[in-house]
Amino acid sequence: MSQFTTNAAAKAKKHADAQQIVVVEELRKRYGSATAVDGVSFAVHQGETFGLLGPNGAGKSTTLAVMSGLLRPDGGDVWIGGVSVRRSVREAQAMIGVVPQSLALYEDLSAKANLNYFAKLRGVPKAARAAEVSRVLKIVALEDDAGRRVSKFSGGMKRRLNIAIGLLGNPRVLLLDEPTVGIDPQSRRHILDSVRRLADEGMTIIYTSHYMEEVEYLCRRVAIMDRGKIIAQGPVDEVRALAGDSVTLILPTPSGALGNAVDLDALKRSVNVPMEVGSVEMRFLLPQGSRQAPELINTLRDTGVPLDGMRLETPNLETVFLSLTGKALRDHEARENGGESA
Amino acid sequence: MIPLWKSVSAITSQRLRRLTLDGGWVWIALPLAIIYVLGVSMQGLFSTDFTPARPYQVAVAGGDASTSQVIEAMIASPDFFSVDLVADEDDARASVLARRSDAAVIVPPDDAEQPFRVIAPPGSVVLEIVGGVLRKEIEALHGAEDAEAEKASDPNAPPSSQLSSFEYFGVGIMIMFLMFTVHSMMVYSVGDRSSGAYGRIRTLGVSRTAYLVAGYAAAFVVGVIFAGVMALATRLIFGVEWGDPLAWTAVTLAGAAGVASISFLIMATMPPRPKAVESAGSTLIIIMSMMGGSTVPLAVLPSWFADTFAWLPNRIVLDGYFAIAAGGSLAEVAGKVALLLVVALCLLLAGWSISVVRAKGEA
């Protein structure tokens, strides 16, 4: 665990610090013999956008499920606005809005009917419901499509409606669980901008993602999770600095060319740095000023790997994750695409 | 957080809306079409004027004076029977197996105490008709007292035997589709779980209890509405007589509760996948409808079969409606209503217990 994995939440006095609207303390959750969340602690300040970054299966969604009162923790607790989720789950839930990773929508109903239904369950009074529905439709720019059946929506529009439902009742804290999964870049940009506007208006947001560029764009502070634990947390700049003076050497390759050309085992033996092989590129984490780059490229050429050029990237959260765990943030995707990490 | 009744009301009304938008009219049109087809095609079977297209070939084997009495009774109905006298039971059986005869009657010796036996394909019309003739012969042989006893012990005789095909299938198919409609509402609950809507609803402050109650209530309410609409439609279109409204209401409410409990139990035991729950429910409903007399008339079912499955909730509802249609009052169906409510409660408690165990770990 890094020096930045502070025990801030544990040290913090939940009720004393009015700035901390969300406090997660030593949270644990098991599914049978598998530990999904293992002693997670962090705190989020009022009006802050906090990023929870990690690969698939890191425990982000389970953490959010416990925070939103859906799952009972096996250990630890979560305080929302000073209210314990463990002790007063309904009271805590009244303060949060949840945007689940799955599209929790009724496709056979219109966007408006969906919003009306969830607004009713949220407890929005009948007299205020129409105005509230209009308000959230405006935020996600779906006013013109309010009457259309959700089944006719594009993936991006469904994602936006998914967010709109989470905004009903103007919650103090918004939990967003990978809200941009599986959508086109334009819709993604739209969602990110909407989230940023909400943050600018003072809403507290906890944003989980395995896209480091989204977290870097939205959040001032971040926690990086892996295998149920927080391996680093703090302001983005400070966490980024954990990668030290490293730079990432990226060697693009023609699509599909790596599949048979690379003897990964041989490569690992000859390269003594963290590396990740994707379907269209290879990434190597090198110390700043390292002279290994030419040597690496020569090795690859000798093994017959076709290269499409090279570029160096300054440290980012992805680099941090690679340096701390020796694997890529999106190694799941890399595997799906035929790549591997080492 | 909103009160439990408001959550239940919101979820119930939303599901009714979805059912209506989701081609809900099919749930009314389809059973009406099936009632029409069965009503027309099975008219002869339910009519007192029924005669088969050709006389049934019946092989008769056995005893003495009784044999000739049976043969005489059959010969008296030349439109129905053509009789072959065969040497013994084996010949009679072989004749049916080789399809030389539609049925065989084994007449016991006069001094024997065993009853007449009829050999014919199970559930066939000929079996029922030959059986009817034999019952009359038993009456003649043993006197009116025995005949009354025989009649009273035959659960199929009253009151369904007095119905037209439209009246019979109007009730039977309505009950079958009552189960389908109620089950489709329960599938919505499973759909919520697989889409993530369940989780979202829970995070809005709706308790698990409220959600389960709402799911059950929605299924129950849809069942009652469906039964009401179908009763009205079959009354207007096919002239189905549903009898005393008070008794009808009691049977309908208890029936809808029983059917909703069956679906609830299916939902609680199956994996939370809509397709799986839908398939399991549909299969069970079709089997229950066949065994419970909805699709195959009780008069055609072998009596042992009809008796064996008289405990099925849908069969209890069927018997209840038939009793009311035949002039029965609330008092006369009170036993059936009470039984249905007990069954509904037991199934609901079983489903609830399973869902509690499966929800372990939920807040």
pLDDT surpasses 80 at A262: no
- How distant is the Cα of B263 from the closest Cα of chain A, in angstroms? 22
- Contact across the interface for A94 and B18, Cβ inside 8 Å: no
Q: Give the mean pLDDT of B270-279.
A: 92
pLDDT at A10: 42
Q: Which two tokens stand for residue B122?
A: 């199970």
Displacement of CA A317 from its chain's centroid (Å): 12
**Does B2 score more than 70 pLDDT?**
yes
Interchain CB contact of B5 with A (< 8 Å):
no
Judge if ipTM > 0.85.
no
Q: Are B71 and B83 in contact (CB under 8 A)?
A: yes
Q: Which residues lie below 8 Å from residue A203, measured CB to CB, with a gap of 6+?
A: A47, A171, A172, A173, A174
Q: For A127-164, how does the pLDDT look when each residue is reduced to its tens digit (9 = 90+)?
A: 999 999 999 999 999 999 999 999 999 999 999 999 99
Q: Residues of chain A with pLDDT > 70: what percent? A: 86
Asked if the model's pLDDT at residue B33 lies above 90, the reply is: yes
From the list A72, A104, A108, which residue is nearest B196 (CB)? A104
CB–CB contact B205 A105 (8 Å) = no
Of B10, B21, B363, the CB nearest to A121: B10
What are the backbone dihedrals phi and psi of residue B105, each rounded to the nearest 5 degrees, phi first? -120, 125
User: What is the distance between the alpha carbons of residues A79 and B48, in angstroms, rounded to a whole number?
Assistant: 77
Give the residue with greater pLDDT, B4 vs A199: A199
Task: Confirm or reject contact between B204 and chain A (CB < 8 A).
Answer: yes
Which amino acid, one-letter code, is at A301? R
**Residue bearing the bigger pLDDT, B148 or A152:** A152
pLDDT band per the 50, 70, 90 thresholds, residue A91: very high
pLDDT band, very low/low/confident/very high, at B67 (cuts 50, 70, 90): low
Which tokens sit at A11? 């040290």
Q: Of the given ranges (A224-228, B2-6, B69-73), which has the lowest mean pLDDT?
A: B69-73
Cα of A109 to nearest chain B Cα, Å = 7
Average pLDDT of the residues in B32-37: 95
Length of chain B: 363
Q: How many CB atoms lie within 10 A of CB B84?
A: 16
Q: A103 to chain B, minimum CA–CA distance in Å? A: 7
- Nearest CA-CA partner of B147 in B128, B130, B134: B134
Output phi, psi for A38, to 5 deg: -130, 85
Phi and psi at B78, nearest 5°, equal -65, -25
Contact with chain A for residue B22, Cβ under 8 A? yes
User: In the β-sheet with A34-45, what is the strand arrangement from edge to edge?
Assistant: A34-45, A20-31, A75-80, A83-84
* Cα of B4 vs its chain's centroid, Å: 36
Question: A with B: how many residue pairs have Cβ under 8 Å apart?
Answer: 84
Residue B76 structure tokens: 């008296």
Which position has the higher pLDDT, A4 or A42?
A: A42
φ/ψ of residue A58, rounded to 5: -75, -20
Report, as an integer, the average pLDDT of A247-273: 72
Inter-chain contact A85–B11, Cβ cutoff 8 Å?
Answer: no
Decide if A96 and B203 are in contact by the 8 Å CB cutoff: yes
Q: Which residues of B touch A122 (CB under 8 A)?
A: 2, 204-205
- Cβ-Cβ contacts under 8 Å, A118 against chain B: 200-201, 204
- Report whether pLDDT(A43) > 80: yes
Rounded Cα–Cα distance for residues B218 and B20 (Å): 13
- pLDDT, tens digit, 9 for 90 and up, residues A161-192: 999 999 999 999 999 999 988 888 888 898 99
* pLDDT tops 80 at residue A316: no
Mean pLDDT in chain B? 85
Whole-prediction pTM: 0.75
* Chain segment A56-74, per-residue pLDDT in tens: 888 999 999 999 999 999 9
Q: In chain A, what residues touch B1 (CB-CB under 8 Å)?
A: 90-91, 93-94, 123
Q: Which residues of A touch B215 (CB under 8 A)?
A: none
Q: Name the helix (H) or strand (E) containing B8.
A: helix B4-21
Model pLDDT, residue A93? 94
Residue pair A86/A73 in contact (Cβ under 8 Å)? The answer is yes
pLDDT of residue B111: 63
Q: What is the pLDDT of residue B140?
A: 65
Task: Please provide the DSSP assignment of B295-310 as one string.
Answer: SS-TTTS-HHHHHHTT
Q: What is the pLDDT of residue A64?
A: 94
β strands within A117-227, DSSP E: 173-177, 204-209, 221-226
Are the beta carbons of A63 and A37 closer than 8 angstroms? yes
How much is the pLDDT for A341? 35
Contacting residues for A295 by C-beta, under 8 A, at least 6 apart = none
The answer to which of A334-338, B51-55, B307-311 has the lowest mean pLDDT is A334-338
Q: Are the C-beta atoms of residues A174 and A203 closer than 8 Å to each other? A: yes
The DSSP call for residue A71 is B
DSSP states along A82-145: TEETTT-HHHHHTTEEEE-SS----TTSBHHHHHHHHHHHHT--HHHHHHHHHHHHHHTT-GGG
Cα separation of B160 and B314, whole Å?
15
A51 pLDDT more than 90: yes
Nearest residue of chain A to residue B3 (CA atoms): A123
**Phi–psi pair at A68, nearest 5 degrees:** -90, 5
Query: Which contiguous run of DSSP H or E holds residue A26?
Result: strand A20-31
The residue type at B263: S
| Residue A14 CA neighbour count, 13 Å, CB half | 16
The single-letter DSSP state of residue A327 is S
- What confidence category does residue B296 fall into, taking pLDDT thresholds of 50, 70 and 90? confident
Residue B300 — very low, low, confident or very high, per pLDDT cuts 50/70/90?
confident
Q: What are the Cα distances from residue B291, in Å, to A209, B70, B123, B176, B318? A: 54, 31, 11, 11, 12
Smallest Cα distance from B11 to chain A, Å: 8
* 3 state DSSP class of A12: coil
A326 CB-contact burial (10 Å; exposed 0-12 / middle 13-18 / buried 19+): middle
Phi-psi region of B310 (alpha: psi -120 to 50; beta: other; left: phi over 0): alpha
pLDDT value of residue A306: 76
In which band, very low, low, confident or very high, does the pLDDT at B141 lie, cut at 50, 70 and 90? low
| Cβ-based contacts of A101 with chain B (< 8 Å) | 196
* pLDDT of res. A338: 36
Considering only CB atoms, A104 lies closest to which of B11, B199, B205, namely B199
pLDDT of residue A56: 82
How many C-beta neighbours within 10 Å does residue A192 have? 18
